[in-house]
Amino acid sequence: MDRNQIAKWLKSPAKMANKYSLHAVYFCTGCGIIEIPPVITTRWDAERFGIIPVATPRQGNLFMITGYVSLKTLKAIIRTYEQMPDPKYTVGFGSCPINGGMYWDSYNTIKHLDRYIPVDGWIAGCMPRPEAVFIAITHLWTLIDKGKADGYLRYQENYAAYRRNQEMLFAELEWPPLYPCDSIAEEARK
Amino acid sequence: MIPSLQKDLEATFKGVEVTVVEDSRMSVLAPRDSIPVVLRYLKESGLDHLALLSCVDWIKEGKFEVVYVLTCYMRNDTDYTSDQRLHVLLKTEIPREKPALKSVIDIFENAEPYEREIHELYGVHFDGHPRLIPLLLERDYEIPPFRKDFDTRKYVEETFGSIPPVEG
């Protein structure tokens, strides 16, 4: 253990433990997922940074969106994100989730991921190298330290707005509306 | 193989135009109603693999061109070097207004997802298909999106451009 961090560990052990054991949801989207196997296996070995992939979203707290997001995938992403326990962190990987990338004029691909679910950080590039993943993770550590990786809190605060954007794409969401948000969503629509 | 097949096809079916593209590759243009019989005939002549079913929108001519790409399975190692290799494009033209075609699932079972895909992207109806429900798309489109008169830019502007940012 780094001796310089002992004070931090004593001050908020839960936060530090959470920070150094990121469990990535193994969710494959688009072409970016091709960079993830080298990241988690011996060549770059993400476990040095405490990251392991997990099988289900209910065990994970790091969600990497690794490529273009089609409408059908967006539906799955929203469901997956809502199943993850707090605190949870989302990272957009590659240029497609940031602004659509080369799918800017596509009839079936969304442009800005952060209008549907909150995103804590972006990795730009097409494709980003595996090293970029680790740079992003160290940045995410800094954000967690400073309390700025608060996407899950922003999702709770602005749920009505996120839900409105989701419903603009999917007229018939198949999951039921949440109780307190109904009236807020009505106001937001007006 | 190809010259004999060409002769057979032209002798057996009316209105079939055969173009030999290469030694082992040819393109067959058949009228719309004779597609199932020609396809069955080609299957029995050794072209037992429907590799792809595709569609082209010729908007100026007012036609859709549906293309069946047929090849044959290699059963022996020697087939790769011999003249057993065949590659046939079976094409048919249908009008753009109310396009419909007979389903070929009873001949090639793997045509099912291809026909569903063409139905949702081009709006071609396949008679006798058991479930013509959307395969890939999530929203309803007024014009099927792969038709040439579908204005992608306008659609993207109206759909994704109208969604506001949540914060900031």
pLDDT tens-digit readout, B80-92: 666 667 889 999 9
Report which of A135, A147, A129, A157 is spatially closest to residue A19, judged by C-alpha positions. A147
Q: Does B133 contact A at CB distance below 8 Å?
A: no
**Is the Cβ of B138 closer than 8 Å to some Cβ of chain A?**
yes
Q: Tell me: do A93 and A9 sit in the same domain.
A: yes
Which member of A72, A115, A171 has the closest CB to residue B166? A115
Q: Which residues of A touch B137 (CB under 8 A)?
A: 71-72, 108
Identify the weakest region by mean pLDDT among A89-93, B45-49, B120-124: B45-49
Domains belonging to chain B, first-starting first, are 2-159 (3.30.460.80)
pLDDT at B114: 93
| Nearest of A16, A20, A23 to residue A40 by alpha carbon | A23
Quote the number of domains for chain A: 2
**Residue B128, Ramachandran bin (φ over 0: left; ψ between -120 and 50: alpha; else beta):** left
CA distance B10 to B1: 14
| pLDDT above 70: residue A177 | no
- Nearest CA to B93 out of B117, B68, B114 is that of B68
A91 and A116 both lie in a single domain = yes
Q: Could you tell me if the ipTM is greater than 0.90?
A: no
pLDDT digits (tens, 9 = 90+) for B93-148: 999 988 999 999 999 999 999 999 999 999 999 998 898 888 888 888 888 999 99
Output the CA torsion sign for B131, B136, B139, B141.
negative
Residue B82: CB partners within 8 Å, gap ≥ 6?
Answer: none
Same domain for A97 and A67: yes
Q: State the smallest CA–CA distance between residue A165 and chain B in angstroms.
A: 6
CB contact under 8 A, A105 and B152: yes
Distance between CA B123 and CA B137 in Å, rounded?
13
Amino acid letter, A32: G
Q: CA-CA distance, B91 to B106, in Å (whole number)?
A: 19
Beta-strand pair B87-95/B25-29 = parallel
Q: Which domain holds residue A107?
A: 3-149
Identify the CATH number of the domain in which residue A101 sits. 3.40.50.12280
The answer to whether the CB of A74 falls within 8 A of the CB of A116 is yes
The SS3 call for residue A70 is strand
Please tell me whether residues A143 and A184 are part of one structural domain. no
Q: What angle do CA B143, B163, A108 make, to 5 degrees?
A: 40
Query: Which ranges in A47-180 belong to alpha helices (H)?
Result: 71-83, 95-99, 130-146, 151-157, 159-169
